[in-house]
Amino acid sequence: MVEGTFFASEVASQPDCWRQAVTHLGGVHDVLPKPGERVAVVGCGTSWFIAQCYAGLRERAGLGWTDAFSAVDLPSTRAYDRLIAISRSGATSEVLELLRTARSTVPTVAITGAPDTPAAQLADALVSLPFADERSVVQTRFATSVLMLLRAHVGEDPGLLLNEAESALAEPLPPAAFDARQYVFLSTGWSVGLAHEAALKLRETAQVWAEPYPAMEYRHGPISLADERCLVWFLGTPPAGLVAEVRATGAAVVSESRDPLTELLRVQRLALALAQRQGLDPDHPRNLNRAVILSRPDGGELAS
């Protein structure tokens, strides 16, 4: 682990933050969806990918119809019992715009990194995780702590994940991961959102070519780009036969038996190492701010 950046210390603190997130669930249980409710969950960037994971997990647990959308794409034609907006900053324009328009039609919950954000003021209910808020622009522990809290809420046992997290932070990274020209992250089911998040970490932090796919979709075209300069990294159990098919292209394959969320910690560490190797500041990626605040054509803020 490279020391001396917020990113490095925030990555390393995840097991502790996850423990706090699970404890925190006790105090916020009642504002989260009840079994059977129809739920929409939204976010932007990393927060959208966490929304996707939660939607898949909640449906898989039989707790009710759950749809994830980028905050700008919630269809106005659908009726939900609850709307959850995930936003670390609580200031992202699209999230605020949606909370403002949705609040008269559906109960809303904001999940943010601080209690005093604009999103917290607009939502009917708040889940705030200040212990997981971050100084790096690039999100790591806030996003994973939200997912831990939501996984516990849908009935998962966090104990195994906490043990795995420690080993994912300590084990050496695969040597092949340092020499690829193209990185591909594959996953299945609820954790496809984590493949998106893994690829985003490498793009934001290290400016490298990284793409995510649902694992079986990779065979439908993108595999044409695979060769010995490509690294294909599975998050979770690969579909039968796919590892051999990818290896046959000459690509290097990383496939460990960890939970996709704990395997993401190794990708975060790789992002940090690749950034440092290129002299990039992992806390301040090019062209990116902590909150993306969009302008209207007249020059005002979209959600002001």
Q: Is 52 in the site for ligand F1P (CB under 6 A)?
A: no
Stretch that binds ligand F1P, among 1-9, 53-61, 236-244, 284-292 (CB under 6 A): 284-292
Residue 152 or 303: which CB sits closer to ligand F1P?
303
The rounded distance, in Å, linking the Cα atoms of 304 and 294 is 10
Residue 70 or 276: which CB sits closer to ligand F1P?
70
The H-or-E segment that residue 89 falls in is: none
Q: Is 89 in the site for ligand F1P (CB under 6 A)?
A: yes
Nearest to 168 by CA among 261, 232, 237: 261
The rounded distance, in Å, linking the Cα atoms of 200 and 197 is 5
Residue 45 or 260: which CB sits closer to ligand F1P?
45
Q: Is 128 in the site for ligand F1P (CB under 6 A)?
A: no
Amino acid at 5: T
Q: Per CB under 6 A, which of residues 146..205 are in contact with ligand F1P? A: 204
The rounded distance, in Å, linking the Cα atoms of 119 and 121 is 5
Nearest to 39 by CA among 21, 51, 29: 51
Q: Is 87 in the site for ligand F1P (CB under 6 A)?
A: yes
Q: Is 47 in the site for ligand F1P (CB under 6 A)?
A: yes
Q: Is 288 in the site for ligand F1P (CB under 6 A)?
A: yes
Q: Is 294 in the site for ligand F1P (CB under 6 A)?
A: no
Q: Please check whether residue 86 is in contact with residue 51, taking contact to mean a CB–CB distance below 8 angstroms.
A: yes
Strand ranges across the sheet with 125-128: 66-70, 39-43, 82-87, 108-112, 125-128
Residue 44 or 274: which CB sits closer to ligand F1P?
44
> Strand, helix or coil at 87?
strand
Shortest reach from residue 281's CB to ligand F1P, in Å: 14
Out of 93, 139, 191, 276, name the contact with ligand F1P by CB under 6 A. Answer: 139
Shortest reach from residue 5's CB to ligand F1P, in Å: 15
The rounded distance, in Å, linking the Cα atoms of 120 and 131 is 16
The site for ligand F1P (CB under 6 A) is made up of 43-47, 87-89, 92, 95, 137-139, 204, 288, 290-292
